[in-house]
Chains A and B, each alone.
Chain A
């Protein structure tokens, strides 16, 4: 999370009603996000400076895996756009379906209030991800995912910014993980819309991903 003091308390409290452990990564917020999340019952890991969403996700996963009893992990955005009931369903599927990865898709589910331009952009992003990874996802940039411990331990996220989403999908292919996509609802509240990334950032994401794939350093 980054600067989410207005909503993160509610999000964490909602998760804590069902889930035993909530790890919240504070990505160098200057507001009271960390204190609010901790008060709501999350374990907070604080980045000393803002590093980007990919880095935050990595830190959260790494910290959660330090608990040897953690068997399933859920990634969940702090801005309140996801629904806890969806997360519960996805973990249930991990547990009973023998999957390594359960991905949420707003295009199989619903995204009330999703602007048309953003919809087209997300569709294009999913198509690009399908093309580059061979994994037939319908929604490549959905923050709600359920991961098995096995998969999370092998997942390598190297891009610190927003481009990590395609890395996770690529890892599904690379690790030959058993995966499934399930319908979820994304609530495009005014808050989430105002906080969300701008569409033009997709240019940066596409650039980062292409450069990453083209010019992999030998190191």
Chain B
């Protein structure tokens, strides 16, 4: 029982630590290596079921399939979380690019907000000439 508590705690610590250091190249490589090893282990499990079972017993886990399952769950969680953060980083970059373009265009169309002061709205808005549009 004790070993299980330790294992679960280790998994959680690894998860948080791994995600905090997710930009580390070594860690990304490690994650990929683990994934490949897991795939190899799956092949071994198909060809020689006894081997994974013995390995599992060595670690205090009941069956070889359980060992595979735990590994699978871990890589799944890491991969999902990694993808989530990767998407977020890409989104952040997209936001930066789009915002820069927006501000550049607005500046090109009429300088900073204080310039080109228009008279306050007195006439109905529909009668007002449209704002200058960029040509591109």
Interface residues of chain A, those whose CB is within 8 Å of chain B, are 9, 12-13, 16-17, 20-21, 23, 25, 35-36, 38-41, 43-49, 51-52, 55, 58-59, 62-64, 66-70, 158, 160, 214-219
* B12 beta carbon closer than 8 Å to chain A: no
Q: How far is the CA of A215 from the CA of B112 in the complex (A)?
A: 37
Q: In the bound complex, do residue A216 and residue B20 qualify as a contact, i.e. CB atoms below 8 Å apart?
A: yes
Q: In the bound complex, do residue A68 and residue B114 qualify as a contact, i.e. CB atoms below 8 Å apart?
A: yes
* B102 beta carbon closer than 8 Å to chain A: yes
Residue from B22, B101, B120, B131 in contact with A35 in the complex, judged by beta carbons closer than 8 Å: B131
Q: In the bound complex, do residue B98 and residue A66 qualify as a contact, i.e. CB atoms below 8 Å apart?
A: no
Q: How far is the CA of A139 from the CA of B16 in the complex (A)?
A: 32
CB distance from B13 to the nearest CB of A (A): 14
Chain B residues within an 8 Å CB radius of A58: 99
Question: CB-nearest residue of chain B relative to A17?
Answer: B120
CB distance from B129 to the nearest CB of A (A): 8
Q: Tell me whether chain B's interface is mostly helix, strand or loop, or mixed.
A: helix
Q: In the bound complex, do residue A217 and residue B125 qualify as a contact, i.e. CB atoms below 8 Å apart?
A: no
Q: In the bound complex, do residue A160 and residue B91 qualify as a contact, i.e. CB atoms below 8 Å apart?
A: yes
* B121 beta carbon closer than 8 Å to chain A: yes
CB distance from A198 to the nearest CB of B (A): 21
Q: In the bound complex, do residue B106 and residue A217 qualify as a contact, i.e. CB atoms below 8 Å apart?
A: no
CB distance from B109 to the nearest CB of A (A): 8
* B117 beta carbon closer than 8 Å to chain A: yes
Q: In the bound complex, do residue B125 and residue A39 qualify as a contact, i.e. CB atoms below 8 Å apart?
A: yes
Q: In the bound complex, do residue B106 and residue A63 qualify as a contact, i.e. CB atoms below 8 Å apart?
A: yes
Q: In the bound complex, do residue A215 and residue B19 qualify as a contact, i.e. CB atoms below 8 Å apart?
A: yes
Q: In the bound complex, do residue A40 and residue B103 qualify as a contact, i.e. CB atoms below 8 Å apart?
A: no
Q: In the bound complex, do residue B99 and residue A17 qualify as a contact, i.e. CB atoms below 8 Å apart?
A: no
Q: How far is the CA of A66 from the CA of B119 in the complex (A)?
A: 21
Given A13-B125, A55-B95, 10 more pairs with CB closer than 8 A: A20-B117, A38-B130, A39-B126, A47-B99, A48-B98, A59-B103, A68-B114, A215-B19, A218-B21, A219-B23
